[in-house]
Chains A and B, each alone.
Chain A
Amino acid sequence: MSEQPPIPRPEQRPLPPAPGAGQRRIVLPPHRQRARRPRSVRVREWVRKNLFPSTGGTLLTLIAAAIMGAIVVGVVIFIFFGANWQVITHNRWLLFAGGFPHEEAWRLWVSIAVVFALIGAAYGTWSSFGRRDHLFVLLVGGFVIFLMAHGGAAIWSTLYFLIAIGCMYLGYAATVWMPRETSTLRTFQVRLVGGLLAISLPLVLIILLVGGEVGPRHLDGFVLNLILAPVGIVGGVVLGIPLALGRASRLRSISLTCTAYIEIVRGAPLLGWLFVALFILDDVIGGDLIIRAMVVMAVFTGAYMAEYIRGALQALPRGQFEAAQAVGLTEMQRTRLIIMPQALRISIPPMVGQAISIWKDTTLVTVILPLRELKGNADSAIAQFEFTPDRIEAYVFVAVIFWIVAFAMSRISQRVERAQGVGER
């Protein structure tokens, strides 16, 4: 059968297109082109087709509109009239950094600025800011500044935050003009930014914790979430790669132990492993409870990451292994140069899903450990006498904060996928 160009069909139009995905426009030959009808006609037609196609459809639209209207009205009334947001504005520092000493706050701001600058540089290197990205930054920045302007304005913090956002655009501006095509300069740029990204987590930990009066136990509030999640994700990938290779290994002893590790870790919920961190790991590795929680996060994530990477290894065509063997690469070279780059590329989408899941799961350390991350400090905030009735506000705020970061992660991952050409050859 001959390949026929896809015909645009009315049923397919309303599928929510992947955000940012360019829709292919079909150019008709001149004799089939029609004059574009006036906008009002097009709008009316769109409304009829998508909202009032039939009696049933109209009914559905009305029901959906009623639900949506109720939600919007309810949310607006709650946000602007019903809720008492003082529980948030009075406890800003508690929610943000909790027990982190005030006089060491510069460490937090410097880390944020560094991370923002790196994000900007990464965008400038592999992607570019679109209108939606600017809008997202604007909205989040506005939200944060609004938060800091209320109930005892925090002018310095606002300024630091603005500087951090400025750093992001600086990093972006410093990299975005570089050439995109392969060249010595491009290679250098990619290596530089990639290397900086790779050491960003240790760098941030050094900025936060080395010298001065701060230790791991001062990591608190939202800062704890922001530290735990990357540690879990990076540690998980670092553990997951050898585990996946080990599980796929021909050597029985290696594949058996790796399989056992993966299946046992995946058998119990994260809360169970945090239980282990609290009561059992004390004897094994000791150290601060936060360190133990980090270890557990990494160990737990590692098992899941290993499964995704293994799936990618299995999805690789056999020809890749055979070709690598044919050109005489050793096993080590084959894994490092041929197999892993492809496998990691394929496994980006599920690994990002796992990363978002770990980001959300950082809340679990509050449940059984005496650690206070954002949700835990929200609990402390509503434990204050004057704020006891404001539970809902506090939790809604926590949910919004987590949503913002998770949403940003999923958007960045879409960029990474496109930059790496996932799903393409």
Chain B
Amino acid sequence: MSAQAPAPPSPSAGGPPPSDAVPLFYRRGFRRLLQQGIYVAITALVAWYVYDSLDLREFGFGFLDDPAAFKVGNQWLTDIDGVTNNRITMYLVGVWASLRVVFVAILLSTLVGVLVGVSRLSSNWLVARLAMLYVEIFRNTPLLVQVVLVYAIFLVGAPIIQEVVNIGDFAFISNRGLAIPWPVPNDGLWGLPDWFVGVWVALLIAIGAVAMTVRRTRQNRERETGQPQFANRWAFGIFAVGALVTFIILGLPVSIDRPYIEGTRYLEGMVIRPEFAALTIGLTLYTGAFNAEIVRGSIQALPTGQTEAANAIGLSGYQRLTLVILPQALRQMIPSITNQYLNVNKNSSLAYAVLYDDLFRVAGIIQNKAGHALEMFFVIIVTYMLISLVISAVMNLINSRVTRVGV
């Protein structure tokens, strides 16, 4: 085995030494061939042993097409019944559940990380201490314990649904979860079909694009002329007016559904189940602590001159942070933060502990019913790798945008 090494010293000017000068056994090429040969032989032997000891008589993915015959809870936007659908469909339902957790946890943990990371550097002694306390506590305890603890607090602390906490008939809290109002598409004034809300969303995206273009042109003009052009206000105004006008023209295609309780169930509205909440909060707090350390480290890595220069030109503390410090710290923190996001993806498998039906748990149920552990493991690892790839790709995109401007 050889460590990474610089190129071999170039042979003397007279060309390679005559090959018959060195016995075959001591020639570099032969040595390498021998080393690799031995290595490949051992690896192949191990691989063969593993292959031989696995029970591969029934290897195949056909079992994924059989009816699932189990229920998958914690569905959102979907209501797919496990009795009639096949296993792969239910697995995809689990993947969708995982993606929701990962997405929300990444967003929230970033928010927590920036907030706490900046607070740790605050000149306010108490705030800095509070942030340090948070980081030290949540970084040094197992994520599993945090998740089950949050879950236990929900289960023990929240009232049963008969004694639900009613917040003005608007939201409800019980140990079944938190029910809040949620926008849903409806027929609207002109009796258009439900899917017409898609048109509105498409229009919103178009208006958003227009607003961004206006913002950019105004920003450019401000940079050229030095006259204030209120780019952000214009963009926001265009978007708000456009959204409102199209909303009215299309006949109010979205309404807000308020939740209500029938018997022991929540109906309508959006229900944030304790399992989802426990997992997401646990992931957020845990990853947030790590993100905070990353944010702090990358801010501290900046030269002090940056702070001093920002002070010298009279920026306020907030301006100094958002215009000078964070944009530069971002370059340093993105690789480490990406790592944390990948960890969030993998750690979301802890859903198993609170019985949240994510991809890992659904895969476990399928394996429990149908066997085929090896195939299920392939499916799991490929799914996690795909999600990781997507996260890495998005973060690389952000990274290339952030690092485009040279320092």
Contact = CB atoms under 8 A, between A and B. Distances in A.
Given A60-B124, A280-B54, A275 B156 contact: no
B350 A271 contact: yes
A14 B127 CA distance: 10
B6 A322 contact: yes
Contacts of A49: 123
Contacts of B143: 360
Most buried by B among A65, A270, A322, A392: A392
Interface of A: 9-16, 49-51, 53, 57, 60-61, 64-65, 67-68, 242, 245-246, 248-254, 257, 264, 267-272, 275-276, 279-280, 283-284, 313-314, 318, 321-322, 325, 331, 334-335, 339, 356, 360-361, 363-364, 366-368, 375, 389, 391-392, 395-396, 398-399, 402-403, 406-407, 410
B136 interface: yes
Contact of A16 (B39, B132, B367): B132
B77 interface: no
Given A16-B128, A249-B2, A250-B5, A402 B374 contact: no
16 contacts: A51-B125, A61-B127, A249-B3, A251-B36, A267-B381, A268-B385, A272-B381, A279-B377, A284-B54, A325-B6, A331-B3, A360-B140, A360-B143, A363-B145, A366-B144, A395-B149
B152 interface: yes
B1 A14 contact: no
A399 B152 CA distance: 13
Contact of A242 (B1, B120, B136): B1
Nearest to A9: B304
Interface of B: 1-6, 9, 32, 35-36, 39-40, 43, 49-50, 53-55, 120-130, 132, 136-137, 139-146, 148-149, 152-153, 155-156, 300, 304, 307-308, 346-347, 349-350, 352-353, 360, 364, 367, 373-374, 377, 380-381, 384-385, 388
A395 B385 CA distance: 32
B130 A360 contact: no
Q: Mostly helix, strand, loop or mixed at chain B's interface?
A: helix
Contact of A361 (B142, B152, B384): B142
Nearest to A263: B385
Given A283-B54, A402-B142, A251 B32 contact: yes
Nearest to B318: A56
A364 B144 contact: yes
B145 A399 contact: yes
Contacts of B126: 51, 60-61, 64-65, 68
Nearest to B385: A267
Contacts of A334: 3
B6 A318 contact: yes
Given A246-B1, A280-B377, A335-B1, 13 more contacts: A60-B126, A61-B127, A64-B124, A249-B3, A268-B346, A270-B346, A271-B360, A280-B54, A284-B50, A313-B4, A331-B3, A368-B352, A375-B145
Contacts of A51: 124-126
Contacts of A268: 346, 377, 380-381, 384-385
A51 B129 CA distance: 12
Contact of A391 (B6, B146, B152): B152
Given A15-B121, A68-B126, A395-B152, A251 B350 contact: no
